């Protein structure tokens, strides 16, 4: 077989994880460490990456998007991952840096997890002083098929739980859907809508979700609340 050129790989983050990834890339036969990007030129990680023979930069994600990179490993703080993902997607497709631009890949991730029988959990919202933003992102994640959303503080839990709770209409429609399906033994109608196996399965899931959802209360004694 002909030798294939190595893929150019970049590592975002010059901490211990990032430098370990860079070291592995320098020994890879399929990928080359083309760049290690951090945020400060004085970090020991960037100096070590340079000694490994990797190009380095303190310009973070901005330099990665214009460096002709084939593969990106994000070893930065988890709080920065959504912004990095949006920037890389915008650079590759020309889309805007917004959460809407990520609807397709996020929905595909949730669908793939569901097909494998796994719950997909959306990444946390890190701005504790922006409850409206948290609510918006949590409702969006629920619409896209995620089973839940990570939290970085207990006071975020009520909003997250509310976003993933079945709506009042879904809870009201589910019993009628199940009753009509059980009585008909097949495709029927309920509330003026056709009812078949997919809607029955959804109604059963809503009923089970409402039955099993725990109550979440936040103690006023939690520091920082």
Would you put residue 23 in left (φ > 0), alpha (ψ -120 to 50) or beta? alpha
Q: What are phi and psi of 8, to 5 degrees?
A: -85, 120
Q: Token pair 């809503």 is at which residue?
A: 206
Report the pLDDT value the prediction gives residue 199, as an integer from 0 to 100: 67
Count helices and strands (H / E) in the chain.
Answer: 9, 8
Q: Is the model's pLDDT at 98 over the cut of 60?
A: yes
Strand segments (E) across the chain? 7-12, 31-37, 56-57, 71-74, 121-122, 148-149, 188-190, 193-195
Q: Is the model's pLDDT at 156 over the cut of 50?
A: yes
Mean pLDDT of the chain: 81
Q: 123 exposed, middle or buried (CB, 10 Å; 0-12, 13-18, 19+)?
A: middle
Average pLDDT over residues 55-66: 87
Burial 211-225 (b: 16+ CB within 10 A, else e): eeeeeeeeeeeeeee
Average pLDDT over residues 144-165: 91
Could you state, in order of their start, the residue ranges of all structural domains in the chain?
A: 7-97, 168-212
Q: What is the DSSP letter of 65?
A: T
100 three-class SS: helix
pTM of the predicted protein model: 0.57
Report the pLDDT value the prediction gives residue 123, as an integer from 0 to 100: 86
Q: Is the model's pLDDT at 186 over the cut of 70?
A: no
Report the pLDDT value the prediction gives residue 1, as an integer from 0 to 100: 44
Question: Going by DSSP bridges, is the β-strand pair 56-57/31-37 parallel, antiparallel, or unpaired?
Answer: parallel
Average pLDDT over residues 185-208: 67
Q: Return d(Cα 197, Cα 200) in angstroms, integer.
A: 5
More confident site: 57 or 190? 57
Q: What are phi and psi of 214, to 5 degrees?
A: -80, 155
- Axis-axis angle for helices 131-144, 157-164 (nearest 10): 30
Q: Return d(Cα 205, Cα 77) in angstroms, integer.
A: 35
Position 37 confidence tier, pLDDT thresholds 50, 70, 90: very high
Average pLDDT over residues 1-10: 79
Q: Is the model's pLDDT at 195 over the cut of 80?
A: no
Report the pLDDT value the prediction gives residue 160, as an integer from 0 to 100: 94
Q: 198 exposed, middle or buried (CB, 10 Å; 0-12, 13-18, 19+)?
A: exposed
Q: Is the model's pLDDT at 222 over the cut of 70?
A: no
Report the pLDDT value the prediction gives residue 187, as an integer from 0 to 100: 59
Report the pLDDT value the prediction gives residue 224, as an integer from 0 to 100: 46
List the single range of 22-36, 48-62, 160-174 with lowest mean pLDDT.
160-174
Which residues, in sequence order, are bridge partners of residue 167? none
pLDDT in tens, 204-218: 777 776 666 555 444
Q: Is the model's pLDDT at 157 over the cut of 90?
A: yes
One of 3.40.50.1370, 3.40.50.300, 3.40.50.720, 3.90.79.10 is the CATH number of 7-97, namely 3.40.50.720
């Amino acid at each position: 077989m002909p030798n294939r050129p190595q893929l150019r790989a970049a590592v975002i983050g010059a901490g211990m994880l990032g430098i370990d990834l860079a070291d592995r890339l320098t020994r890879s036969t399929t990928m080359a460490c083309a760049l290690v990007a951090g945020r400060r030129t004085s970090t020991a990680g960037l100096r070590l990456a340079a000694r490994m023979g990797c190009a380095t930069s303190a310009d973070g994600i901005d330099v990665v998007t214009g460096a002709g990179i084939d593969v990106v490993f994000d070893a930065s703080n988890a709080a920065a991952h959504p912004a990095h993902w949006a920037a890389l997607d915008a650079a590759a497709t020309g889309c805007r840096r917004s959460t809407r631009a990520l609807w397709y890949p996020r929905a595909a991730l949730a669908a793939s997890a569901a097909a494998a029988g796994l719950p997909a959990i959306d990444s946390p919202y890190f701005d504790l002083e922006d409850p409206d933003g948290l609510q918006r992102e949590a409702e969006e994640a629920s619409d896209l098929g995620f089973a839940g959303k990570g939290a970085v503080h207990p006071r975020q839990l009520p909003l997250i739980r509310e976003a993933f709770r079945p709506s009042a209409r879904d809870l009201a429609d589910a019993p009628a859907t199940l009753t009509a399906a059980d009585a008909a033994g097949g495709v029927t109608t309920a509330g003026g809508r056709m009812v078949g196996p997919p809607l029955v399965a959804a109604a059963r899931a809503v009923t089970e979700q409402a039955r099993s959802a725990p109550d979440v209360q936040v103690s006023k004694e939690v520091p920082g609340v």
